[in-house]
Amino acid sequence: MFIASHASHIIGWPVDEGRALLDELLAFATQERFVYVHKWSVGDLVIWDNRCTLHRATPFPSNDHRREMRRTTVVDTQGDTAAA
């Protein structure tokens, strides 16, 4: 389900109704009980699956700390993320 901020509407639905459903789903998915906020320590590595996770970067003092980011993309040939 693609419900993050880039989702604008539901195809075949009136825009206001589709937007209302997307807002409701996003509000549910981002409840505090479902949110993980990482508290960084030196040497930490965080990995997530973009197919199954809403994620958002938060501000950080970019001039105070070195930040290294790498991306790996894996092709899902089975189309089944439920088994992951």
For the chain, the domains span 1-57
pLDDT band, residue 1 (cuts 50/70/90): low
Q: Which two tokens stand for residue 70?
A: 């790498």
Global pTM?
0.63
Whether 41 and 63 have beta carbons less than 8 Å apart is answered as no
Q: Token pair 């320590």 is at which residue?
A: 41
DSSP conformational letter for 76? -
Return the amino acid letter for 20. Answer: A
For residue range 35-58, list pLDDT tens digits in order.
Answer: 888 888 888 888 888 777 887 777
Buried b or exposed e, range 54-76, using 16+ CB within 10 angstroms: beeeeeeeeeeeeeeeeeeeeee
Which single residue is written with the structure tokens 């509000």? 27
